[in-house]
A and B are shown apart, each in its own frame.
Chain A
């Protein structure tokens, strides 16, 4: 059980104790006005988005494998595989962003405004770095989308994931700006916590895509 789960369970028990019955009716006025993790609606929408986008990533990778199985060589027309340097460096940058991201999540769940603000800014700093490195990655793919089906699927995977990086950067920026506004509704901490969950998804979903884009072309003929 993680730190976050323990808190959720303890908080949930407190909620149950806050319920009272008056004259045959259930009084819910003492319940909290927000909650973290799977208790909140935001968690369910984030999980839904992750399921949908995870399905898209999975289908894109399966498409690449399908094309690969039917191809005489991979890359198809004698291109070099994408250069490892920028892709691997970016994988490390993205993985390390999990550290400030989880720090931010803990701060948000402790309702620590100062911590959440600093954490969001740190995460945005990391995001700026991996977006910049992503530009270099595109320049070192060694193929174009209109070369052949290999180029098409490589660019599709990269474009899909980059779209996620960009949208996550934009919505994290907006959320960070909201944290500096007054008055601040406490439920914004749930938004921060769920934003961190989504960040994990964007970063971790890169790993299979990294393997497909950078390593599959290095695995020899089928």
Chain B
């Protein structure tokens, strides 16, 4: 058997039905994760289409207010918690180990567990929607509306537990990503040589760690208010409804940036490749990401300008809201300089990236306006805000994301996506998007409120709503074309080869799709764009076992080789533990005692997961060497 075959056999996930639940390889989990996020993107998009049909003409009675409330709540919740945030984690799960030159992601079983927890959370939310107990108090679930007095029944409890699922997955993902980035980089890839996407994920993961606990704490307090009679948000008993808004937005504003910052990472990778030169101002780019992360924690009150907070406080948050445009502008100027001085190759990924400049800048401008208290008060809770947030989130994250799928699809599958279909899809998406959301600015300025299931004739809103609905169907067509392109290309796309775009980062140094162990000979790095650098020595790493899951651990800053570590094998226990955790979360909606008895299976599954197996310990003994 060749060394390549041995390595493949060592790192491959087991086959068969049971094997499918044991997978831990970051590429397997990554692809499942990416696919699942896109399935729920499409599902939430379908809900939006129903809403747009309902709003296409005045006094429409296609669906009633109760279902409409569930639709916009589940649409927003899914897009934010089950698509936009996790899809970035999913892309990082697949890409980071390859980009950093490692054979694996850190804590592969924990990573698999994070995926299963995420999936079960998705299934619970949509199960609840189909059972007519879908949450209906908006994606930010404000109290007192979502509290026990105004939302009897279980709808808001499903929302609160969904948050527990998705935040648990996101928080564990952040630990996995930080450890991967700081400890599994190829020798020589000091922090100042790391790809900008890795920087973006590092910054994002630190933000996740400090922001997500806030919404998890808040949703736990909400569910205890609802289920066991605590009074966190009940003003009659010393609680405070605004406490909810503070806790939610202390998470919610950084959340926008942990959707946006990974997308900036995609931008940097794609622009460098298609401009055929490294991005201008590497240090400025990195510092801008870090500055954005810090500032994003000082913006949350701009979601609360319509409350009775002190005016001086609001002025501070206005200033911060304007200031955060600066680091983003800095990055945009660096990219423009890169594009202006590069040799452009105008392929589909670059088209999606160029659309970012148009759409995100418009969304940023409406954002800067919304940062001003007087204007915010005028358009608060109108369609102007809906337009703004879709320009920022779709322009800032979804366009670069789809560009990123076109860019990395050859690595995932070994085949190129069809370029003509890609360009057609791009134009449909770009036109459809602007047709849908641009009129919403005007609707908002004309006073149309958000979250109303219908509106009377004669308000002057009919035509713009009709255009907007038409645009939504153009987007749907574009997404359908994307699905067709993906399926067709998986089956019979043009073979891609290792590096179809002649890119400079390490994921392109290995086969497409990569072998199970990523690199037979892990690389040693001598510059920022390793594949564009002249050959230098040492060129690669030897001395890692191929018949064991052995990985090189390097130092956090300089990436000097530090020690070898044996990584875990495939295991059913992450799946079983996630199933037990799901049992705990779902049953606790119905009885608080479930927190006690349902934690027993969780503990047992986790112990079985951790418990060392004699055979594996014996196998790694010969490689053991004390520090």
Residues on A close to B: CB < 8 A?
11-12, 14-16, 19, 21-22, 24-36, 38-41, 44-45, 48-49, 51-53, 55-56, 59-60, 63, 66-67, 70-71, 76-77, 111, 145-153, 155-156, 170-171, 174, 178, 181, 183-188
Contact = CB atoms under 8 A, between A and B. Distances in A.
Contacts of A67: 232, 238-240, 243
Nearest to A51: B209
A31 B625 contact: yes
A209 to B, nearest CB: 14
A15 B239 contact: no
A30 B183 contact: no
B542 A24 contact: no
B307 to A, nearest CB: 14
Given A25-B521, A29-B543, 18 more contacts: A15-B561, A26-B524, A27-B542, A33-B626, A40-B553, A44-B178, A45-B175, A48-B178, A55-B210, A55-B213, A56-B217, A59-B213, A145-B229, A146-B228, A146-B229, A149-B231, A152-B239, A185-B621
Interface string B184-215: 00010000000000000000000001101110
Interface residues of B, number: 72
B238 A21 contact: no
B537 A24 contact: yes
Contacts of B612: 178, 181, 185, 188
A52 B607 contact: no
Contacts of A59: 213-214, 217, 247, 250
B538 A21 contact: yes
A33 B240 contact: no
A145 B228 contact: yes
Interface stretch (B331-339, B376-384, B562-570): B562-570
Contacts of B489: none
A150 B238 contact: yes
B221 interface: yes
B107 interface: yes
B452 interface: no
A12 B611 CA distance: 29
A26 B617 contact: no
Contact of B562 (A30, A35, A49, A52): A35
A41 B183 contact: yes
Contacts of B627: 11, 14-15, 32, 34-36
A166 to B, nearest CB: 9
A184 B240 contact: no
Contacts of A26: 187, 524, 538, 540-543, 561
A60 B232 CA distance: 11
A150 B230 CA distance: 9
Given A183-B617, A184-B617, A39 B239 contact: no
Interface string B237-261: 1111001001100100000000000
B620 A185 contact: yes
B375 interface: no
B393 interface: no
28 contacts: A11-B627, A15-B627, A24-B537, A25-B541, A26-B538, A27-B542, A27-B543, A28-B541, A28-B543, A31-B564, A33-B624, A33-B626, A39-B562, A41-B179, A41-B183, A44-B179, A44-B183, A45-B106, A48-B209, A51-B209, A52-B171, A59-B247, A67-B232, A148-B231, A148-B239, A152-B231, A174-B607, A186-B624
Nearest to A173: B607
B563 A34 contact: yes
A161 to B, nearest CB: 14
Nearest to A25: B542
Contacts of B542: 22, 25-29
Interface string B152-181: 000000000000000000010011001100
A152 B224 contact: yes
A147 B224 CA distance: 13
Contacts of B623: 33
A41 B565 contact: yes
